[in-house]
Amino acid sequence: MRIAVIGTGYVGLVTGVALSEIGHVVGCIDVDPNKVKTLSNGIPTIYEPGLKEMMLTNMGRGRLFFTSKHSEGLDHADVVYIAVGTPQRADGSANLDYVEAAARDIAHNITKSVIVVIKSTVPVGTNEYIKKLINEETPAGIKVKIASNPEFLREGSAVHDTFHGDRIVIGAEDLETADTLAAINAPFKMPIIKTDISSAEMIKYASNAFLATKISFINEIANICESLGANVEEVAKGMGFDHRIGPDFLKAGIGYGGSCFPKDANALVQLAGNHHHEFNLLKSVIEVNNHQQVLLIDKMLTRFGGTLKGKRIAVLGLAFKPHTDDLRESPALVMIPKLVELGAEVVAYDPIAIENAKKQINGYIEYTEDLHIALHAADAAVIITDWPDVKTIKLSTYNQLMNTAILFDGRNCYDLSDVKEASIEYYSIGRPNQAPELIS
């Protein structure tokens, strides 16, 4: 089948490449000609393991191409996916400007009747609104069907998730449309859930809101554990064996980030408010997460007597999670400016996200892709991203390179017994501190 994908961000690019991999002819459209040129040269504009190889393979097969011309990408398309961004507005609601622009481009350039599939995360009711917008501007004789097909991809493992996910959700206005999309997705060999359009739109928001709630819950438990001398990892393990709860997303840390959880949680609160419902639970989830992101700053100030002035701090990790260069809602964006404001000298390590960081973090800091350089002569280190290099480093390296081996671990990377053996002063989340008086 001939498919067009509008938008080549995380969702659009991965979707287009994956659909070409299972046999469809896919044209990916983006309004940025420089981005299209880069992609046409076989260079992905995002970092995602396995994406480049799959992209090059299908470009070579003639099943995947990139264009900035909607007339070219939409020509003779049977199905059009909208996969543009829906950034957060100041009030927390989703900005649909890019979705609306894509809808108008579809209306002005399609050459036959098509199914328009909204892959972007949009509020309930958006599909019907977009269908009306397209039909108002589409030439007579061309019919447009609308459908919702939300994505459930994790950055850093998006290619894997596309082929090994839990389910595919299709919300359609009629059975024929649902069956067509089910056939397109059949080669992914995942359970396919067919719903009405509104339910499909809500499934995406409800799923992310629930996972965000689970993360904030275990972080609150972690904070209580610290006061009581309990170990949140043992607590989470005991909870996770209950099949009604499960072990996933019960890992305490410095909060969630990324392009989905923060934006979708805020959007769902706003959506509920628009329909006269106060989503108090989700408001609390957001509040807990905002506090969690600066928790390590409080720990550092306590340890250093209320001041960080002149302290050389190694920040380990900038991306919001490993295996991505995405800094959206990363704790680094909150913590690093605060450290600079408090007078600390900051040197930041990340293997792939530095260029993105330089565009978003104000104030003078040093950057390095070498973990050892970051640690050299540091007075303290703070782990923001649990990169493999960080998790597997020999703990003796901290003692060898740092002025003082004081570590604030926002991702609970190390076993407490190993830390104790290495004689590191260690502060983590929801677990007993390994401070000098406790080590001796």
Phi-psi label, residue 190: left if phi above 0, alpha if psi -120 to 50, beta otherwise: beta
If one counts every other C-beta atom within 10 angstroms of the C-beta of residue 376, the result is 16
In order, the DSSP letters of 196-253 are -HHHHHHHHHHHHHHHHHHHHHHHHHHHHHHHHT--HHHHHHHHHTSTTT-STT---S
Is residue 185 within 8 Å of 168, Cβ to Cβ? yes
Question: Per the residue annotation, which of 28, 225, 260, 413 is the catalytic one?
Answer: 260
**Cβ proximity of 412 and 253 under 8 Å:** yes
Per DSSP, 29 falls in state E
At residue 28, the 3 state secondary structure works out as strand
3 state DSSP class of 370: coil
Strand order of the β-sheet with 79-82 is: 64-67, 25-29, 2-6, 79-82, 114-118, 144-148, 168-172, 192-195
- d(CA 75, CA 65) in angstroms, rounded, equals 13
The amino acid sitting at 191 is P
Q: Alpha-carbon distance 122 to 136, whole Å?
A: 20
Asked if residues 79 and 184 have their Cβ atoms less than 8 Å apart, the reply is: yes
Q: And the tokens for 254?
A: 């410095």
Told to judge if 413 belongs to the known catalytic residues of this protein, a careful annotator would answer no
Q: 175 vs 48, 95, 247, 426, CA distance in Å? A: 35, 30, 37, 58
By annotation, the residues acting in catalysis are 260
